[in-house]
Amino acid sequence: MNSSIKQWLYAGTLSLSIMACDNKLNVTPTQSIEASQALSTEQDVRITLTGAYDGLGDVNLYGGAIQYIGDLMGDNRDVVFGGTFATIDEIWRKTVTASNTVTRDFWLDGYNTINRTNNILAALDKVGTGNRPNFEGQARFIRGALYFELVKAFGKSWSDGTPTANPGVPLVLTPTSSVTDADYKARNTVAEVYAQAIDDLTKAESLLPATQTGVLGFGAATKGAAAATLARVYLQQQNFAAARDAANRVITSGTFSLLPNFADAFNDATKGPEVIFKVIVTDQDGSNDMNTFYASALNQGRGDVRVQTKFRQLYAAGDVRGTFFNTAGQNTFTSKFNDRYGDVPVVRLAEMYLIRAEANFRLGTSTGDTPLNDVNRIRNRAKAAPLTTVDLAAILLERRLELAFEGQQLPDIKRTASTVGTAPFNSNNLVLPIPQREIDTNKSLVQNPGY
List, for residues 229-260, the tens digit of each pLDDT value. Answer: 999 999 999 999 999 999 999 999 999 999 99
pLDDT at 349 over 90: yes
Residue 216 confidence (pLDDT): 64
Residue 215 confidence (pLDDT): 55
Q: Is 29 or 35 the better-scoring residue by pLDDT?
A: 35
The set of long-range contacts for 126-131, using a CB threshold of 8 Å and a minimum separation of 24, is 126/39, 126/40, 126/41, 126/42, 126/44, 126/45, 127/42, 127/45, 128/42, 131/42, 131/214, 131/215
The answer to whether the CB of 283 falls within 8 A of the CB of 290 is no
Phi and psi torsions of 170, nearest 5°: -65, 135
The answer to whether the CB of 126 falls within 8 A of the CB of 89 is no
Residue 32 confidence (pLDDT): 34
pLDDT at 318 over 60: yes
Residue 102 confidence (pLDDT): 98
pLDDT at 17 over 70: no
pTM of the entire predicted model: 0.92
Q: Please compute, for residue 247, the number of CA atoms within 13 A of its CA located in the half-sphere on the CB side.
A: 31
Domain boundaries, the chain: 42-175+185-417
Residue 217 confidence (pLDDT): 57
Rounded distance, CA 340 to CA 291, Å? 6
Residue 180 confidence (pLDDT): 65
What's the sign of the alpha-carbon dihedral 297, 406, 394, 372?
negative
Rounded distance, CA 293 to CA 296, Å? 9
**Tens of pLDDT along 117-155?**
999 999 999 999 999 999 999 999 999 999 999 999 999
Helices 190-207, 223-237: axis angle to 10 degrees equals 160
Indicate the DSSP class of residue 167: B
pLDDT at 19 over 50: no
Indicate the DSSP class of residue 345: E
Banded model confidence at residue 203, pLDDT cuts 50, 70, 90: very high
Strands (E), 256-348: 275-279, 305-307, 325-328, 331-334, 344-348
Overall CATH class of domain 42-175+185-417: mainly alpha
Residue 298 confidence (pLDDT): 74
Banded model confidence at residue 178, pLDDT cuts 50, 70, 90: low
What integer best gives the mean pLDDT of the chain? 90
Rounded distance, CA 219 to CA 344, Å? 11
Rounded distance, CA 417 to CA 379, Å? 25
Least confident of 208-222, 266-280, 351-365, 368-382: 208-222
Q: What average pLDDT score do residues 279-288 get?
A: 85
Amino acid, res. 246 = A
**Tens of pLDDT along 67-123?**
999 999 999 999 999 999 999 999 999 999 999 999 999 999 999 999 999 999 999
pLDDT at 33 over 80: no
The answer to whether the CB of 276 falls within 8 A of the CB of 225 is yes
**Tens of pLDDT along 409-428?**
999 999 999 999 889 999 99
Phi and psi torsions of 394, nearest 5°: -65, -40
Residue 31 confidence (pLDDT): 35
pLDDT at 323 over 50: yes
Residue 269 confidence (pLDDT): 86
The answer to whether the CB of 247 falls within 8 A of the CB of 234 is no
Residue 86 confidence (pLDDT): 98
Between the alpha carbon of residue 21 and those of residues 16, 18, 27, 170, the distances in Å are: 16, 10, 10, 42
Three-state SS at 278: strand
**Tens of pLDDT along 293-314?**
999 877 778 999 999 999 999 9
- % of the chain residues with pLDDT over 90: 83
Banded model confidence at residue 219, pLDDT cuts 50, 70, 90: confident
Residue 176 confidence (pLDDT): 83
Amino acid, res. 150 = L
